[in-house]
Amino acid sequence: MEPNLNQDSEEQIPQTTPETSEQPVVAPAVDESPAVEPEMTTPVNDTAIETPTQSSESQVFTPQSSTTNEPSSPSEPVASISVTSAPSAESMGPVSGSSKKSFFKRWWKKLAIIVAVILVLGGSSAAAFRYVYLPKQPWYILDTALENTLSQSNVNLNATINTTSSGVAMKILSLTKVNFNNKQVDENINLTVDGVAIPAEIRLVNSNLYIKLGDLSTLTSLLSTLGGSSAQGLGSTFAPLLSGISNQWVVIDSTTLDSNKAYKCLMESSWTTSSSDSNYIVNSYLNKPFLNVLSMTSDTIGSSSEYKMSVNLSDNTAASYLNGLNNLSSSQSYNQCTGSKNTTITGDNKTRPLTIWVNKSTKLIDQVEYASSQSGASGSIDALVSYGTVNVQVPPNAIPLAQLFAQIMETMTKQGNTQGLQALNSLMSNL
């Protein structure tokens, strides 16, 4: 018997309780006369049973949001089970005076089977509650997307950040690619400040760090602009430095980087999430859900069908959640390696509006938008996320950083640029 999914009405599960009404067995007048079989009557008592919110087989966690905007419960039913009649006396076989005991033995055996079937279907109904009812809930869809996204080993993040403050506009175009299994990173960034672009690319491959700054010829005018009258001449002072590092790949090898304890511990630790840490992350969010879904509609990104969610982010709850991640085994191992203490984050008692797109097919987060404006300053973030395989390559013609600085110092010495030499020496001592 299978559950009957009814999508138009609230779930009703009629329950039938078989009862027996025995009639005495009539002794035959002649040996050849058959015995009179007992009649079976089965009154049906339809009783509505409330849809379960939890089952013994599959526990449902419903996060309690700190705000009043709870997702509404949909009216979609889960399953209905209908038992229309009990087995007839004929199906249980004839009963004679000498086999009455065997009749009741067979009858109770069949009744036990019927009860077992009803219990199994009842369990199926509870399972259907989790797999039919819950997946349509906005909070459940978002929770699943967060869990799935955190489990990805390859991430491509294409972000656009715009800010305006005190009349100065800044725009950041960032393309970040990460392969967590291979510990590879490729970061392309283009920073534009007041119309002046500063492009750069950073790659982490085989524990070596590669850096390339793009065309920095326009940076000389920016230095003078930001520095005011006291910065006049800075452009010409640093022109050899800027010309030397423009569009040139520079490598800082792992032997040099290992002298930095934080970097060494980072490269020695695992970048993937263990199953225990993954469970902790998910359960911590269920206990402290800092995202509250206000509404959900259907949308598209390119050819992909998406859930578009308007969400409120609670800063205080998010801060508490992030502080709890200090208990992750990966966090504890890193702190033990570096000898550092846990970082504590404090919320600012604000609620921030976000828009999140979740792919209907993959149940992964595909896009996030955020915008804010206050006290003469404004900012926005638009991030597109994809999960294709990341393979970061070693860039060609990379030279060691020390070699690059030696070439620039030689040029400055020939020019008699003492101010530039002092600045370069100061920079090298801090690396």
Residue whose C-alpha is closest to residue 261's, from 334, 182, 208, 183: 334
Are the beta carbons of 192 and 415 closer than 8 angstroms? Answer: no
pLDDT recorded at residue 414: 78
Q: What's the rounded Cα separation, in Å, for the pair 6 and 13? A: 11
Q: Which amino acid is at 349?
A: N
pLDDT recorded at residue 239: 66
Q: What's the rounded Cα separation, in Å, for the pair 402 and 202? A: 17
Which residues face 250 on adjacent strands?
211, 399
Cα-based angle 136, 140, 144 (whole degrees, multiple of 5): 115
What is the 3-state secondary structure of the chain?
A: CCCECCCCCCCCCCEECCCCCCCCCCCCCCCCCCCCCCCCCCCEECCCCCCCCCCCCCCCCCCCCCCCCCCCCCCCCCCECCCCCCCCCHHHCCCCHHHHHHHHHHHHHHHHHHHHHHHHHHHHHHHHHHHHHHHHCHHHHHHHHHHHHHCCCEEEEEEEEEEEECCEEEEEEEEEEEECCCCEEEEEEEEEECCEEEEEEEEEECCEEEEEECCCCCHHHHHHHHHHHHHCCHHHHHHHHHHHHECCCEEECHHHHCCCHHHHHHHHCCCCCCHHHHHHHHHHHHHCCCEEEEEEEEEEECCEEEEEEEEEEEHHHHHHHHHHHHHCHHHHHHHHHHCCCCCCCCCCCCEEEEEEEEECCCCCEEEEEEEEEECCEEEEEEEEEECCCCCCCCCCCCEEHHHHHHHHHHHHHHHCCHHHHHHHHHHHHCC
**Tens-digit pLDDT string for the chain (431 aa):** 444 444 443 333 344 444 444 444 444 444 444 444 444 444 434 433 333 344 333 343 344 444 434 434 344 443 333 434 444 444 444 445 545 455 445 555 555 555 454 444 444 444 444 445 566 789 889 999 998 998 899 999 999 999 998 888 899 999 999 999 999 999 999 998 877 888 999 999 999 999 998 877 666 666 555 555 444 555 566 666 677 778 889 999 998 888 889 999 999 998 988 888 988 998 898 898 999 999 999 999 999 999 999 999 999 999 999 999 999 998 999 999 999 888 899 888 889 999 999 999 999 999 999 998 888 789 999 999 999 999 999 998 899 988 887 877 777 787 777 776 777 677 666 65
Global pTM? 0.64
Q: Cα-flanking dihedrals φ and ψ of residue 238, to 5°? A: -100, 5
All structural domains of the chain with their residue ranges: 15-136, 150-386
Q: What's the rounded Cα separation, in Å, for the pair 316 and 135? A: 28
- CATH pick for 150-386 out of 1.10.3820, 2.50.20, 1.10.3470, 3.40.50: 2.50.20
Q: What's the rounded Cα separation, in Å, for the pair 351 and 71? A: 17
Tell me, rounded to whole angstroms, the distance of Cα 346 from its chain centroid. Answer: 23
pLDDT recorded at residue 197: 84
Are the beta carbons of 219 and 236 closer than 8 angstroms? Answer: no
Q: How many residues does the chain have?
A: 431
Q: What's the rounded Cα separation, in Å, for the pair 267 and 405? A: 26
